[in-house]
């Protein structure tokens, strides 16, 4: 495996499991960045930016794309651009990023009512169990409840993959009832790396999709929204209104393109899934439980009923130079082999220390 941290940045990512936001741009990304075009994108005339937008539209089989500064901004401009006249509601998973991790932006800036659903199967929303019972279809009669205008799905969610077959059912049903569907696909790369379809399978099903270039792909910033020409035209307005129009985003777009081509298309994510499974297996081997199944690059340690706490694990791992911060561990492609072995060792040490304590008691 190439040494992604060798290009001189002192702040290494190779031992950092605190999140895949910890990835660093690679030498190839920095080189692309310095060769990017430097025209004005507020007027839509920057070559590198337009090329990235077209490339992402092509990959997802959508007519158009728009570069945005973050996944949060992508979800906001997408959803704001799909909605027209209130009253309206957005149906989403109770654990959705738009609901819990975006400072309420989508709901504050649209005035939409959230229709929050805890999926019956604990993993992903299904049409029959979660959506049909909760959706408010506009049948021209009832006026007490805000009609559902958007279903917002997320894939992956907490590292779990939503099956393409269920997504297809939900999108078909929604469109048949005049409801639009947005995908928070900040981590969609991971679902695809796990074998669940391709980008061009998802694009045609959704009205808008957000994809992030930072996180697991390794770029330092940026995301893209893909959709119809009309929606993207409107999204450009919304982006401008919230201060997301950037004069010279060319360098960011150039790095993002390398991130897509080398990290995602280059197949570097699959290894992270294998590592996550390996770490999860180590945890389970000692009797540890997982809060959510490890289906991509996340491992959710459950500390309930163990003789040690998250803080104990954080400290034990730190003695070996491994950084973790919460019960969710994220494996990114710049994690090195030594970090994996050190983390597994830390897990083993804690479980056996706990075992000894129990035996003495």
- Chain residues binding ligand PLP by CB under 6 A are 70-72, 97, 154, 184, 186-187, 212, 214-215, 223
Between residues 191 and 306, which has the closer beta carbon with respect to ligand PLP? 191
> Measured from the CB of residue 116, what is the shortest distance to ligand PLP in angstroms?
16
What residue number has its CB nearest to ligand PLP? Answer: 71
Q: Which is nearer to ligand PLP, 235 or 347 (CB)?
A: 235
Q: How far apart are CA 166 and CA 225, in angstroms?
A: 22
DSSP strand E in the chain: where?
A: 64-68, 89-93, 113-117, 148-154, 180-184, 208-212, 223-227, 289-290, 298-302, 328-330
C-alpha distances (whole Å) from 193 to each of 22, 217, 264 are 19, 12, 8
Residue 200 belongs to what H/E stretch?
helix 199-202
Task: Report whether 41 contacts 245 (CB < 8 A).
Answer: yes
Helices 337-360 and 310-318 cross at an angle (nearest 10°) of 130
3-state SS assignment for residue 246? coil
Q: Is 157 helix (H, G, I), strand (E, B) or coil?
A: strand
Give the nearer residue to ligand PLP in terms of CB position, either 184 or 316: 184
With a CB cutoff of 8 Å and minimum separation 6, the contacts of 317 are 323, 324, 342, 343, 346
Secondary structure string (H, E, C) spanning 96-123: CHHHHCCCCHHHHHHCCEEEEECCCCCC
Residue 247 CB neighbour total at 10 angstroms:
12
Is residue 207 within 8 A of residue 181, CB to CB? The reply is yes
Query: Based on CB atoms, which residue is closest to ligand PLP, 131 or 223?
Result: 223
Nearer of residues 72 and 334 to ligand PLP, judged by Cβ: 72
Is the distance from CB of 258 to CB of 32 less than 8 angstroms? yes
């Amino acid at each position: 495996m190439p040494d992604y941290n060798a290009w001189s940045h002192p702040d290494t990512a190779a031992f950092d499991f605190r999140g895949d936001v910890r990835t660093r741009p690679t030498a190839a990304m920095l080189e692309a960045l310095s060769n990017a075009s430097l025209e004005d994108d507020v007027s839509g005339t920057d070559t590198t930016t337009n090329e990235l937008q077209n490339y992402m539209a092509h990959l997802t089989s959508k007519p158009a794309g728009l570069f945005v500064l973050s996944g949060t901004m992508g979800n906001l401009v997408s959803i704001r651009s799909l909605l027209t006249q209130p009253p309206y509601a957005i149906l989403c998973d109770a654990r959705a990023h738009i609901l819990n991790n975006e400072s309420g932006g989508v709901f504050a800036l649209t005035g939409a009512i959230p229709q929050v659903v805890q999926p019956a199967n604990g993993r992903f929303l299904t049409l029959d169990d979660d959506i049909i019972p909760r959706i408010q279809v506009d049948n021209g009669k009832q006026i007490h409840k805000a009609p559902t205008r958007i279903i917002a799905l997320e894939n992956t969610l907490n590292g779990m993959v939503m099956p393409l077959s269920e997504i297809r059912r939900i999108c078909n049903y929604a469109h048949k009832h005049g409801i639009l569907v947005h995908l928070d696909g900040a981590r969609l790369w991971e679902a695809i790396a796990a074998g669940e379809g391709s980008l061009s399978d998802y694009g045609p099903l959704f009205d808008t999709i957000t994809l992030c270039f930072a996180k697991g792909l390794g770029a330092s910033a940026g995301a893209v929204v893909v959709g119809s020409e009309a929606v993207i035209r409107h999204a450009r307005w919304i982006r401008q209104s919230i201060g997301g129009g950037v004069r010279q985003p060319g360098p960011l777009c150039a790095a993002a393109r390398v991130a897509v081509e080398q990290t995602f298309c280059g197949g570097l994510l699959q290894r992270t899934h294998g590592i996550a499974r390996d770490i999860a297996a180590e945890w389970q081997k000692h009797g540890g439980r997982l809060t959510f199944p490890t289906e991509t690059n996340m491992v959710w340690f459950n500390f309930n009923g163990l003789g040690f706490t998250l803080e104990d694990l954080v400290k034990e791992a730190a003695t070996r130079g491994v950084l973790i911060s919460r019960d969710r561990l994220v494996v990114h492609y710049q994690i090195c082999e030594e970090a994996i072995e050190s983390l597994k060792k830390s897990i083993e040490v804690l479980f056996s220390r706990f075992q000894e304590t129990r035996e003495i008691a």
